[in-house]
Amino acid sequence: MKTKDRGCAAQRQKTATLKDKRLNRRQFILFLLIPYTLFLAPSCNTEAAFETKDVKVNMTIKNISSGFVECEFSTNKDAYYLIAIQDPWENFNPTTNQKQFMQLALDSAYAEYLIWRNDLLRKKEFNVAPFSSHSLQYGNTTRIFTGLMPDRDYWVYAFPVDPETMTPAGKLVLENVKTLFASTVEIRFEYRVRGMWDYVYPVDTLGRINSRYPYTFLTVDSAEIASSIAEYGTPVHFFTEWAIDLFQYPELADIFYGVKATENDGIKSTSKFEEGHVYYTGINGLDGLFKHLAVYKFTWHEDCVYYFHDTDSTNLFLKD
Amino acid sequence: MRNIPIRIAVIILSAAALLSSCRFRQDEFVDFMNTETTKDLKFRVISQTETDLSNGLPYNCYLPDGTRVHDLCDESLPEESQPLKKPATSSVTATAVLQDLLKYRNQNRVIEIVGTYPSTDSNGNEITLSGKVMLPKNGVPKRMILVSHYTVCSNAEAPSNCFSLEGVLVNSGYGLIIPDYIGYGVTADEVHPYLVMDLTAHNVVDMYLAVKPWLEAIGRKADDPSLDLMGYSQGGATTMAVQYLIETDYSNANDIDHIMLHRVFAGGGPYDVQATYERFVNTDTAGYPVAVPLVLQGMIKGNKLNMEFSDMMQPRLCEHMDEWINSKIYTSAQINKLIGTKVTHELLTEEAMEQKSEKVAELYKAMTLNSIIAYDWEPKASVYMMHSMDDETVPYTNATHARSHWKEANITYNFGHYGGHVLTCLRFIYAVQELLAQEEAERRKYED
């Protein structure tokens, strides 16, 4: 009995020790779990996550033309970054003065943001978008920088930003690009009118829609430009002046990409088609002067259906 | 034996407490269905219920793909009906967000009032539509939020028939107005004009205009007279269209129907229908196949285009339009299964795949009219816009196009890897909850 008792006692002691060990293990697991639950367990954070350490911005120049440059930007981590294009500064090397250059670019963007924000606050707007949302990029971005002059040097650059401290958070990526003397993009504008609606189709040499080519267009009633037509005998003069204006003041242009359908009812668009009136539509690529200008003429009727190709353009003398 | 008097006393006291609590509850009950003061108003109450959120969301609460919220916790759910699985880029799960959604608990009881109001249909004729008003049980709401609901396919998911997910905001003291779009609720027999922005925005605003005097009449006028707008997915684009309508037609402070906008929350919306179509065609992939018949039906019928479904859709889809889409008995997840393909050219005709064709030119009309970013307008009220870069249903392109179109508008863009469309919906509602709470805290700080 004694032996058995002793045996039982030993067993109890062993069990107790094991229990203690298990308890210790449990305590240990709990010890690990508590900070995990507090700090590491996934919670629903709805703010865009961003990093500021070891962030690299990649920039790929996809297309350089005479009036625009298309760039692709991406980051190796989720991060905010600034992108810009500008004329090169004389006697300044941005690669050897990176920090100064980046801070200047950031300050300049922030100064613009403050003016914008100040305007909203004056209007008693309580909720104003933050700088990161207004002026910085996040995620992959494709940007077509328009309004550039042909045959000119530009700096295209990007760098990561810490939106909380308003400081650069990584290295500058900068490329010196030179716009072409003349556009080499092979594109033509086809134009369709169906009743109150018209459509612009920027088409490549294979007949596919090019949705990356910036253009603008304008439809005018011939009566509105009668004096110009009377003076020069052609509406083309009006449209060439329009194209020159856009070339000189590109910021004035409404820029479109891909197919553009418009209802010309004078309500949702500024143009309004009227029965029996003669119209001219000018379509101009924002890629240098006159390169892709097409002007189409038509007489509008309620049930009219037209489809114009570039060979129908009235400005044949301006064609390539 | 000695305990008997004590026991009797306890029983008497308990009975008294029970009776008094019953009496208290009876006193608290307000019958919104039979109030004399509201009988001449446009908003007519059909039913009134009360939901207690202390034990979680009710059984009749659905996610944007038609999955019941309660089924989400069921691990036996088949893989294909779990679009909420953890995204590779995010550690957050849908169940975790759902738990967080009920975090803000100032009060747990929600009064749900279903009612009807007059509006107009696509022919300009008067139509009676339905919708739901959700109010905190205790006291007046802080502010009203006009919610445009996300795409629902079965009528059971219509706001007037279920507990909308956005209803969790009532917990924080806000009141919600959630109209059923045409084709749902009392108009379930009608074809739903999917993404017909102008019409839907008018219907949504009509409900607000009908409910506003009704709230005053029942003594539940919100503390803050301004209005928030909110919507996700189809509701996100509709919300922006509602903002456009309010800022163009209801912004004159001298008008009786003047609406003062406070803040707008839009998430995962198809702001650019053209770009969405072009992406379907160019990638030959429709991540959310049910959108194809829904969009085409909305564009063709809702905009009275001169074409037939067969001009645009493959015969198999045309044959099943009434059964799958217009019967309103299937959820979107179920219809996606019935369609059985995500390849665009298996859904669209050859002519519909050709961007310069006559038929597509006709379609472009409708797509232009119903793309909010095609409008010559910039939002004035503050907007918060959220979109997941991983969205498989409403392509991220919609968000980037919105951003490049509204460069200078007061819009806080929140784009990130938030997982799929459904998971981001939950995160969006949670974000709205948090932003409203933050704003309240900041205002208090300023007032102090």
Q: Tens digits of per-residue pLDDT, B367-411?
A: 999 999 988 899 999 999 999 999 999 999 999 999 989 989 999
Cα(B163)–Cα(B170) distance, integer angstroms: 12
Residue the block writes with tokens 């856009």:
A246
Q: Write the DSSP assignment of B380-427 as a string of letters.
A: -SEEEEEEETT-SSS-THHHHHHHHHTTTSSEEEEEE---SHHHHHHH
State residue A26's pLDDT score: 58
Residues of chain B found within 8 Å of residue A211, distances taken between Cβ atoms: 278
State residue B383's pLDDT score: 98
Closest in A42, A126, A259 to B91, CB measured: A42
A266 touches chain B (CB under 8 A): no
Ranges of beta strands (E only) in B310-404 are 382-388
Q: Looking at residues B337-358, what average pLDDT do you find?
A: 94
Residues of chain A found within 8 Å of residue B97, distances taken between Cβ atoms: 44
Query: For residue B45, what are its two tokens?
Result: 């109450």
Residue the block writes with tokens 């969790």:
B168
State residue B105's pLDDT score: 67
Interface of A with B in 275-314 (CB under 8 A): none
Q: What HEC string does A97-149 produce?
A: CHHHHHHHHHHHHHHHHHHHHHHHHHCCCCCCCCHHHHHCEECCEEEEECCCC
For residue B248, the distance in angstroms to the closest alpha carbon of chain A comes to 12
Cα(A254)–Cα(A242) distance, integer angstroms: 13
How many CA within 13 A on the CB side of residue B25? 7
In terms of DSSP bridges, do strands A294-299 and A278-285 run parallel, antiparallel, or are they unpaired? antiparallel
pLDDT band at B18 (very low <50, low <70, confident <90, very high): low
State residue B101's pLDDT score: 83
Residue A272 DSSP symbol: B
pLDDT digit string (tens) for B150-173? Answer: 999 999 999 999 999 999 999 899
Query: For residue A213, what are its two tokens?
Result: 């080519």
User: Which residues have CB under 8 Å from B74's CB, separation 6+?
Assistant: none
Cα(A45)–Cα(A43) distance, integer angstroms: 6
Residues of chain B found within 8 Å of residue A130, distances taken between Cβ atoms: 412
pLDDT band at B445 (very low <50, low <70, confident <90, very high): confident
Q: Write the DSSP assignment of B222-284 as a string of letters.
A: -SS-SEEEEEETHHHHHHHHHHHHHHHHS--TTSTT---EEEEEEES----HHHHHHHHHHHT
Cα(B178)–Cα(B271) distance, integer angstroms: 20
A269 touches chain B (CB under 8 A): yes
pLDDT band at B24 (very low <50, low <70, confident <90, very high): very low
Question: Count of H helices and E strands in chain A?
Answer: 5, 15
Look at residues B246, B250, B174, B208 and name the one whose alpha carbon lies nearest to residue B43.
Answer: B208
Using beta carbons and an 8 Å cutoff, which residues of B are at the interface with A? 91-93, 96-97, 100, 263, 274, 278, 355-356, 361-362, 364-365, 367-369, 375-376, 382, 384, 386, 389, 400, 408, 410-418, 426-428, 430-431, 434, 439, 443
Q: Is B100–A43 a contact, with Cβ atoms under 8 angstroms apart?
A: yes
**C-alpha torsion sign, points B367, B373, B374, B376:** positive
Kindly state the greatest CA–CA separation across chain A. 130
Look at residues B220, B224, B223, B261 and name the one whose alpha carbon lies nearest to residue B242.
Answer: B261
For residue A39, the distance in angstroms to the closest alpha carbon of chain B comes to 13
Q: Is A133–B414 a contact, with Cβ atoms under 8 angstroms apart?
A: yes
How many CA within 13 A on the CB side of residue B192? 28
A122 touches chain B (CB under 8 A): no
Ranges of beta strands (E only) in chain A are 57-64, 69-75, 80-86, 137-138, 141-145, 153-162, 167-168, 173-178, 188-194, 197-203, 215-221, 260-263, 278-285, 294-299, 305-308
Residues of chain A found within 8 Å of residue B395, distances taken between Cβ atoms: none
Radius of gyration for the alpha carbons in chain A, expressed in angstroms and rounded: 32
State residue B27's pLDDT score: 44
How many CA within 13 A on the CB side of residue A60? 7
State residue A36's pLDDT score: 45
Q: Are B84 and B113 a contacting pair, CB within 8 Å?
A: no
Residues of chain B found within 8 Å of residue A141, distances taken between Cβ atoms: 400
Closest in A120, A261, A269 to B410, CB measured: A120
Burial status of residue B369 (CB atoms within 10 A of its CB: 0-12, 13-18, 19 or more): buried
Q: Are A248 and A278 a contacting pair, CB within 8 Å?
A: no
pLDDT digit string (tens) for B296-318? Answer: 999 999 889 989 999 999 999 99
Closest in B356, B408, B413 to A133, CB measured: B413
For residue B275, the distance in angstroms to the closest alpha carbon of chain A comes to 9
Neighbours of A64 (CB within 10 A): 17
Residues of chain B found within 8 Å of residue A40, distances taken between Cβ atoms: none
ipTM of the complex: 0.81
Residues of chain B found within 8 Å of residue A193, distances taken between Cβ atoms: none
CATH class as words, domain A57-178 = mainly beta
Closest in A125, A194, A268 to B410, CB measured: A125
State residue A240's pLDDT score: 86
Enclosing H/E stretch for B368:
helix B358-369
CA angle A195, B401, B178 (to 5 degrees): 85
- Amino acid found at B74: D
Q: Is B427–A46 a contact, with Cβ atoms under 8 angstroms apart?
A: yes
Cα(B194)–Cα(B270) distance, integer angstroms: 12
Look at residues A124, A115, A158, A155 and name the one whose alpha carbon lies nearest to residue A139.
Answer: A158
A141 touches chain B (CB under 8 A): yes
Q: Write the DSSP assignment of B155-195 as a string of letters.
A: GGGSGGGS--GGGGGGGGT-EEEEEPPTTSGGGTTSPP-TT
A267 touches chain B (CB under 8 A): no
State residue A171's pLDDT score: 95
A74 touches chain B (CB under 8 A): no
Closest in B368, B389, B427 to A139, CB measured: B389
- In chain B, the percentage of residues whose pLDDT exceeds 70 is 90
Residues of chain A found within 8 Å of residue B278, distances taken between Cβ atoms: 211, 258-259
Chain B's closest residue to A121, CA to CA, is B410
Neighbours of B92 (CB within 10 A): 21
In terms of DSSP bridges, do strands B175-179 and B144-148 run parallel, antiparallel, or are they unpaired? parallel
Least confident of A308-312, B244-248, B346-350: A308-312
Q: Is B100–A44 a contact, with Cβ atoms under 8 angstroms apart?
A: yes
For residue A140, the distance in angstroms to the closest alpha carbon of chain B comes to 9
B87 SS3 class: coil
Closest in B96, B263, B414 to A44, CB measured: B96
Average pLDDT, chain B: 88
A165 touches chain B (CB under 8 A): no
In the sheet that holds A57-64, the strands lie side by side as A57-64, A69-75, A141-145
Q: Are B145 and B231 a contacting pair, CB within 8 Å?
A: no
For residue B284, the distance in angstroms to the closest alpha carbon of chain A comes to 15
Q: Taking the model in full, what pTM does it have?
A: 0.86
In the sheet that holds A278-285, the strands lie side by side as A215-221, A278-285, A294-299
Cα(A142)–Cα(A309) distance, integer angstroms: 30
Q: How far is CA B204 from the centre of its chain?
A: 11
Cα(B382)–Cα(A175) distance, integer angstroms: 36
Q: Is B278–A211 a contact, with Cβ atoms under 8 angstroms apart?
A: yes
How many CA within 13 A on the CB side of residue B327? 11
State residue B74's pLDDT score: 47
State residue B196's pLDDT score: 95
Q: Is B96–A130 a contact, with Cβ atoms under 8 angstroms apart?
A: no
**C-alpha torsion sign, points A226, A232, A236, A242:** negative
Chain A's closest residue to B429, CA to CA, is A46
Burial status of residue A302 (CB atoms within 10 A of its CB: 0-12, 13-18, 19 or more): exposed
For residue A276, the distance in angstroms to the closest alpha carbon of chain B comes to 23
**What end-to-end distance do the CA atoms of chain A give, in Å?**
114
Chain A's closest residue to B442, CA to CA, is A126
A251 touches chain B (CB under 8 A): no
Ranges of beta strands (E only) in B32-179 are 44-52, 109-120, 126-136, 144-148, 175-179
Give the pLDDT of chain A (320 residues) as one tens digit per residue. Answer: 344 444 444 455 555 555 555 556 555 555 554 444 444 444 566 777 888 889 999 999 999 999 999 999 999 999 999 999 999 998 888 888 999 999 999 999 999 999 999 999 999 888 999 999 999 999 999 999 998 999 999 999 999 999 999 999 999 999 999 999 988 888 899 999 999 999 999 999 888 898 889 999 999 999 988 888 888 777 888 888 888 888 888 878 888 989 999 999 887 677 889 999 999 999 988 887 777 788 999 999 999 999 999 887 775 444 43
Closest in B355, B368, B416 to A209, CB measured: B355
Q: Is B431–A46 a contact, with Cβ atoms under 8 angstroms apart?
A: yes
State residue A4's pLDDT score: 43
State residue B448's pLDDT score: 67
Residues of chain A found within 8 Å of residue B93, distances taken between Cβ atoms: 42
Beta bridge partners of B150: none
State residue B324's pLDDT score: 96
A47 touches chain B (CB under 8 A): yes
A261 touches chain B (CB under 8 A): yes
For residue A29, the distance in angstroms to the closest alpha carbon of chain B comes to 22
Residues of chain B found within 8 Å of residue A139, distances taken between Cβ atoms: 389, 415-416
Q: Are B424 and B92 a contacting pair, CB within 8 Å?
A: no
pLDDT band at B260 (very low <50, low <70, confident <90, very high): very high
Closest in A48, A211, A263 to B365, CB measured: A263
